[in-house]
Chains A and B, each alone.
Chain A
Amino acid sequence: MTAPAATGAPRLGGRGRSVRYRLNAWLPVLATCVILVLMLGAGQAVFGDFVSPRLLSSLFDNNPFLIVLAVGMTFVILTGGIDLSVGSVIAFSGLLGAQLFAAGWPAAAVLPLMVLSGTLIGAVVGVMVAFFDIQPFIASLAGMFLARGLAYVTSLKALPIHNDALNWLLGTSWGVGDWTTTPGVLLSLLLVAIAFWVFHYTRFGRTVYAVGGNEQSARLMGLAVTRTVFLVYLISGTCAGIAGVLFASYTQSGNPLAGLGMELQAIAAVVIGGTILTGGSGYVIGSLFGVLVYGLIQISITYMSVDSWWTYIVIGVMLLLFVVFQRAIAARRRR
């Protein structure tokens, strides 16, 4: 690290070095892609007719809300934080929508309010983390309780939702042949694209990376660290609100138990997508692939008609592999 010999050279780092740097940074995402392809290949080899337009479409169709959650979670994790409140927000947002629809409110008012309910919880968590220096884990835990509690306060039991606008989101199917998609999926992919742009083409996005890399330095560099950290949780909460809308559309109901443990699925998807939990390294595209891997595991397990608990175990093993992989990369970099 402090090799004195290297300092004298006037020209440092050729073309090869910068290519290698970017390759290194994308390596975890590439690994996720490779795993995705390998899994598809293995499925094809074992089941014969595994890979089909229908399967690929359903990978997206089954999990648009998880994609949206993962996008928000990527923001948080890149700063080195974590947001446990998102799963509960889905329940709160869904039930709020159900109640408002039942009261006869128009969709144009209800849908924004459902999203804002998530923003609100995100703001509470963000204030605690950014302004009061409370550990993200605990602050978002409080957010999780708060959202779940508010969900129960809204309604103690599941409520059906009958609303055309909401149904349209995931109920409409557009497609060519067996390739199908829904407005909700397109919305989630649009969010991924927007997030990618924010991360890589705005100062805010770069500050997110800087904070995750070294918060102390970021502060001394005069970056708006506090504001960035706050906004990150606000974004995550808002994404959770949007995911709540999608989930309500998916289940056509609001349920106080909705989204139970979904924060963990989102975290798992982000980690499998190659984002390092200590922050500062990773790509939102990776999180999308992470969700796809997650979805593929679920589908394969149904396909193999083995018991559903294998999902947990496979995801656990998958996470282990990725975390150890990241450790190895980090250890190599340090040397």
Chain B
Amino acid sequence: MPSTVVAELRDITIAFPGVKALDGVDLVLRAGEIHALMGENGAGKSTLIKALTGVYAIDSGTVEVGGRPRRFSGTADAQAAGIATVYQEVNLCTNLSVGENVMLGREVRGRLGIDWSATHRAARTALELLGLQIDTRTSLSSHSIAVQQLIAIARATVLESAVLVLDEPTSSLDRSEVEQLFAVVRRMRDTGVAVLFVTHFLDQVYELCDRITVLRNGRRVGEFPTAELPRRELVSTMLGRELARLEAIEDRALAVGAADSTVPVLRVEDLGRKGVIAGASLELRPGEIVGLAGLLGSGRTELARLLYGADRPDAGHAEVHGRPARLSSPRAALAHRIAFSSEDRRSEGIIPDLSVRENLVLAVQAQRGWARPLSRTQQDAIVERYMTSLGVQPPMPARSSATCRAATSRRCSWAAGSPRIPSSSSWTSPPAASTSVRRRRSSVRSRTSRPAASRCCSSRRSSRRSCASRSASTCCKTGISSPKSSTRRTSTWMTSSP
């Protein structure tokens, strides 16, 4: 069917200091079509979306919407040009009501200013189209994240745009909500809207999308009609590797978990926090890597944070090496030599303006207290050890960590945890009680299994990468284990405890 081009990005290049995030990428969106944007994490999907929605300025290339060249200097510009966006993180105002969030900037105005009953009526209509029966006068914050996501989508529908960008909108929705959303997206497509859909779930791509653009390493690999690109080929196109090699990894995966004789390094029972997790149990044994599975919002990150004391658990108890332990704060967890690498490295992992050295030794220094500073020699020893073992390049400890490439600073933040932890006390995050996950084996990429300091890693990115090769309905979390600097690679998936 010959459909008109609504938006066209040509030869887009965006560079960040030290890296080209996008390199000459093209993207064509057609009216009445749902277009999937695929690629591994870091392929440049988000950057491309931000270029389209006016968040980033482009270095070179052209953006045309509705046949006219555009130069967006902000999100408002893009919206005015008819591009509505729903972001992965809910970007609404929790201090306002549901109806206001849907209609903000589009309120129905009467003679005496905003006509609130008409505004709320319009909001209610938009929500009902999504199958949501919500009192629009309730506070946004009184609704769950999933509902807030649907509200954000309702907002996008109100804008009556020519282009609808959905940046991983389904990651926090359950199956029935996804169905509702898809129905709405299809309806919008049928009215002639061009939809750009970004997701990690391959099933959803094949269920919904008409066309796929694949990005890899900031370049466009190609644009394919969905019908002409089988699933396996899509995966290998995204990864840029032979399928056979990917399958070989599967064969290497090990069955672990039989070694029940050892005392668990960490054991928690019914660990929970009101309104977050309803009580989860798990055991971690020396030398083990445990993957944590569950969708976003299932409680995997939240449980990892409880284990580290980043959030204070209010139920259950924990044992470290068989002895009861209170993991009430990061400090307490660190004292038990439990470390943590946040999924949000920039805001939770590093201290940007401090040097790499200061970042590396921070946790150790914090344990010692301010009155007993580490000497320069001690600092250098720690820095030296972790710079080499984590492969931090370039080895410039005096450099401000804010100026480092992000990958480097990630490694710094990893090491910054607690370098003195003996390698035996390794453990990772377990699955949350609320998730239902198929039993699965997974491979741990070699990068994450470097002999690093033992960490609880709840990295969403690394997990996505390792599951990109399989049906994406499950995602995993990986942790690192490093028995005496050997690079033993073990991994296991735990099924969820009921």
Binding site for B on A (CB under 8 A): 1-4, 6-8, 10-15, 17-18, 21-22, 24-25, 197, 200-203, 206-207, 209-210, 212-214, 216-224, 280-281, 333, 335
**Known A219-B75, A222-B79; further 19 A-B contacts with Cβ < 8 A:** A7-B173, A10-B131, A10-B132, A11-B134, A13-B143, A17-B135, A24-B139, A200-B113, A202-B113, A203-B105, A203-B114, A206-B96, A214-B92, A217-B91, A217-B93, A220-B55, A220-B85, A223-B76, A223-B104
Known: A3-B144, A7-B177, A213-B95. A206 touches B100 (CB 8 A): yes
B113 touches A197 (CB 8 A): yes
Closest Cβ of chain B: how far from A11's Cβ, in Å? 4
CB<8 Å pairs between A and B, sample of 14: A2-B299, A4-B174, A7-B174, A11-B134, A12-B132, A17-B138, A22-B137, A202-B114, A203-B105, A206-B104, A206-B107, A210-B93, A214-B92, A222-B78
Q: Which of A13, A207, A224 has the most CB of B within 10 A?
A: A13
Chain A CB within 8 A of B94 CB: yes
Indicate which residue in B112, B135, B145 contacts A13 across the interface (CB closer than 8 Å). B135
B139 touches A21 (CB 8 A): yes
What 10 A-B pairs come out closest when comparing CB atoms? A201-B113, A213-B95, A222-B79, A213-B93, A18-B137, A13-B138, A7-B146, A280-B95, A21-B139, A217-B91
B133 touches A11 (CB 8 A): yes
Closest Cβ of chain A: how far from B130's Cβ, in Å? 11
Closest Cβ of chain B: how far from A215's Cβ, in Å? 9
Indicate which residue in A24, A207, A333, A335 contacts B275 across the interface (CB closer than 8 Å). A335
- Cβ contacts under 8 Å, B100 to chain A: 206
- Cβ contacts under 8 Å, B107 to chain A: 203, 206
Chain A CB within 8 A of B141 CB: yes
Known: A17-B135, A21-B142, A221-B91. A201 touches B97 (CB 8 A): no
Q: Which of A2, A11, A202, A206 has the most CB of B within 10 A?
A: A2
B302 touches A2 (CB 8 A): yes
- Once the chains are docked, how many angstroms separate the CA of A12 from the CA of B134? 5
Q: Which of A18, A219, A223 has the most CB of B within 10 A?
A: A18
B114 touches A201 (CB 8 A): yes
- Cβ contacts under 8 Å, A24 to chain B: 139
- Cβ contacts under 8 Å, A10 to chain B: 131-133
Q: Which of B79, B112, B139, B172 has the most CB of A within 10 A?
A: B139
Chain A CB within 8 A of B147 CB: yes
User: Of residues 77 to 101 in B, which have CB atoms within 8 Å of A's CB atoms?
Assistant: 78-80, 85, 87, 91-98, 100
A216 touches B138 (CB 8 A): no
Known: A201-B112, A206-B104, A214-B93. A4 touches B135 (CB 8 A): no
Chain A CB within 8 A of B490 CB: no
Known: A1-B276, A6-B144, A7-B146. A18 touches B138 (CB 8 A): yes
- Once the chains are docked, how many angstroms separate the CA of A159 from the CA of B74? 49
Q: Which of B79, B91, B93, B174 has the most CB of A within 10 A?
A: B93
B146 touches A209 (CB 8 A): no
Chain A CB within 8 A of B483 CB: no
A280 touches B93 (CB 8 A): yes
Q: Which of A12, A14, A200, A335 has the most CB of B within 10 A?
A: A12
- Cβ contacts under 8 Å, B143 to chain A: 6, 12-13
Known: A17-B142, A213-B93, A213-B96. A219 touches B74 (CB 8 A): yes
Q: Name the residue on B nearest A210 (C-beta).
A: B93
Q: Which of B91, B94, B135, B173 has the most CB of A within 10 A?
A: B135
- Cβ contacts under 8 Å, B135 to chain A: 12-15, 17-18
- Cβ contacts under 8 Å, B299 to chain A: 2, 4
B94 touches A2 (CB 8 A): no
- Once the chains are docked, how many angstroms separate the CA of A126 from the CA of B411? 41
- Cβ contacts under 8 Å, B352 to chain A: none
- Cβ contacts under 8 Å, A14 to chain B: 135
B104 touches A221 (CB 8 A): yes
- Cβ contacts under 8 Å, A217 to chain B: 91-93
Closest Cβ of chain A: how far from B340's Cβ, in Å? 19
Q: Which of A203, A210, A222 has the most CB of B within 10 A?
A: A222
Closest Cβ of chain B: how far from A68's Cβ, in Å? 22
- Cβ contacts under 8 Å, B133 to chain A: 10-12
Q: Name the residue on A nearest B134 (C-beta).
A: A12
- Once the chains are docked, how many angstroms separate the CA of A219 from the CA of B107? 17
- Once the chains are docked, how many angstroms separate the CA of A11 from the CA of B124? 12
- Once the chains are docked, how many angstroms separate the CA of A224 from the CA of B80? 12
As a 0/1 sequence over residues 270 to 293 of chain B, the CB contacts with chain A under 8 angstroms (1 = contact) are 000011100000000000000000
Q: Name the residue on B nearest A211 (C-beta).
A: B93
B95 touches A21 (CB 8 A): no
Chain A CB within 8 A of B337 CB: no
Chain A CB within 8 A of B170 CB: no
A3 touches B87 (CB 8 A): no
B79 touches A206 (CB 8 A): no
- Once the chains are docked, how many angstroms separate the CA of A217 from the CA of B92? 5
As a 0/1 sequence over residues 102 to 120 of chain B, the CB contacts with chain A under 8 angstroms (1 = contact) are 0011010100111000000
Chain A CB within 8 A of B434 CB: yes
Q: Name the residue on A nearest B83 (C-beta).
A: A222
Chain A CB within 8 A of B298 CB: yes
